Amino acid sequence: MNESVSSAVCFGALAFRPNGAGVATYQRELLARMVGLMPGTALSALVQADAAPVLPEGIAAVTRPVAAGARRAWHGIAPQRGADVFHGLDVDIPLTGPRATVSTVHDLSVFDVPWAFSRYRARGEQLLLRMSLTRADLLIAVSEFTAERIADRFGREAVVVPLAPAAWATVPDETAVDRVRARYALPPRFVLQVGTVEPRKQVAMLAQVAGDLDIPLVLAGAGSDGPQAPASAIGLGYVDLADLPALYSAATVVAYCSEYEGFGLPPVEAMACGGAVVASAVGALPQVCGDGAVLVEGTNPEAWVRAMRPLLHDEAANRELRDRGLVAMTKLSWQATAEATVAAYRTAGLLP
């Protein structure tokens, strides 16, 4: 270790992927901005071997074999040496090794909505979450909502450090929008939802709403072109990240119907791309979206029809919502997230 280095921080980033979404976005964007914020601290990241080449310069790789499921979970909690502070960017922290540990908690969905997971996965993740939340020296929550859930269930205080739109989430130009319309053969007007087709994301209800409004529903993401997707929807399957800004912008309305969210990056990214967002008023979404989105209580199709109809028929209202979304997103940045994270370390006495 260089003589000028007085401490070492290792980030648990096994979900890190150059083009990943959700937690991978958090890990990718945060790591890119942590370099230089802690002078005298050696930085490393625990990653899968194939992610090591794309780590930011200034962060050394601590590699583990490429794995998924239980094997990857074990790599996250296995004893670690060589770091003063270990920060699990997706909850998990080592059983032994570091002097101090930090755990970022994205949500408590496996406790709050266990029906959304297989029984095996729900029980396994509940165990891992409980281990980390009771043992970590410092807890970071991505929203006030998640911090409140941690306090209610575990009786612990968490520092709130919100996320931000990914670096790619910017307003596209008209040429990009036209290109994406042609590439995916999009209809002139449509409602869009991006995300995995799963029980929490009420795609069947959205299909009914789109039918009542007589407008096509376009789905993008894992399972969107599979048998679980509504037959009436246009399923695009996986969409390149490079195409997402234009896709969000091209949609007449971007829907995000979810029964639980610890933060909710997809609507945040849609707003940053200039989308007109209608989202569920659940979990952290009211705090995160503010007045940059139209929020709907519950999953009643009639409520969603009422929320969407004005945006489909009133161009001025649609444009105003897009503008409000862009303004709301100026309040979030990954640089601010990184700086607040380092401030939390120091306030907790984990770093000099």
- CATH code assigned at 288: 3.40.50.2000
For the ranges 169-178, 197-206, 329-338, which has the lowest average pLDDT?
Answer: 197-206
What does the pLDDT read at residue 116? 83
Express each pLDDT in 64-107 by its tens digit: 998 888 788 788 888 888 899 999 999 999 999 999 999 999 99
Calculate what percentage of the chain has a pLDDT beyond 90: 82
Note whether 72 and 183 are same-domain residues: no
pLDDT on residue 3: 44
Into how many domains does the chain fold?
2
What is the three-class DSSP state of 8?
strand
Same domain, 211 and 310: yes
The Cβ of residue 52 has, within 10 Å, a number of other Cβ atoms equal to 16
Task: Evaluate if residue 322 carries a pLDDT over 80.
Answer: yes
**202 within a domain of the structure (yes/no):** yes
- Say if 2 falls within a structural domain: no
The DSSP line for 106-150 is ---HHHH-GGGS-HHHHHHHHHHHHHHHHH-SEEEESSHHHHHHH
Contacts of 340 (CB under 8 A, 6+ apart): 159, 161
Cβ atoms of 8 and 84 closer than 8 Å: yes
Query: Please, which pLDDT band fits residue 4 given cuts at 50, 70 and 90?
Result: low
Q: Identify which has the larger pLDDT, 147 or 202.
A: 147
pLDDT at 112 over 80: yes
Neighbour tally for 28: CB within 10 Å: 25
Residue 255 lies in a domain: yes
Mean pLDDT across the chain, nearest whole number?
Answer: 93
Same domain, 190 and 93: no
Neighbours of 347 (CB within 10 A): 11
Contact 30, 59 (CB under 8 A): no
82 and 199 share a domain?
Answer: no
- As a whole number of angstroms, the distance between CA 83 and CA 106 comes to 23
Kindly provide the residue ranges of all beta strands, DSSP E only, lying in the chain, ordered along the sequence. 7-12, 41-48, 60-64, 85-88, 100-105, 138-141, 159-160, 191-194, 217-220, 234-235, 253-256, 277-280, 294-296
Strands ordered across the beta sheet of 41-48:
60-64, 41-48, 7-12, 85-88, 100-105, 138-141, 159-160
262 has pLDDT over 50: yes
* For residue 196, pLDDT beyond 80: yes
Query: Mean of the pLDDT values across residues 23-40?
Result: 94
Identify the domain containing residue 293 by its residue range. Answer: 174-330
CA distance 285 to 263: 6
Which of 82, 75, 152 shows the shortest CA–CA distance to 111? 152
Distances (CA, A) of 323 to 93, 292, 303, 316, 319: 41, 8, 23, 11, 6
Does one domain contain both 221 and 289?
A: yes
Write out pLDDT tens, residues 41-51.
Answer: 999 999 999 99
Same-domain status, 317 and 337: no
Residue 133 or 76, more confident: 133
pLDDT, tens digit, 9 for 90 and up, residues 204-245 = 999 999 999 999 999 999 899 999 999 999 999 999 989 999
Laid out side by side, the sheet with 253-256 consists of 234-235, 217-220, 191-194, 253-256, 277-280, 294-296
Question: Do 19 and 159 belong to one domain?
Answer: yes
pLDDT digits (tens, 9 = 90+) for 119-129: 888 898 899 89
Check whether 265 has a pLDDT greater than 70: yes
Domain shared by 270 and 133, yes or no:
no
Three-state SS at 101: strand
Q: Is residue 169 part of a domain?
A: no
Q: What pLDDT, on a 0 to 100 scale, did the predictor assign at position 142?
A: 97
Query: Is the Cβ–Cβ distance between 14 and 72 less than 8 Å?
Result: yes
- Residue 56 within any structural domain of the chain: yes
The answer to the question of residue 344 being in a domain is: yes
105 three-class SS: strand
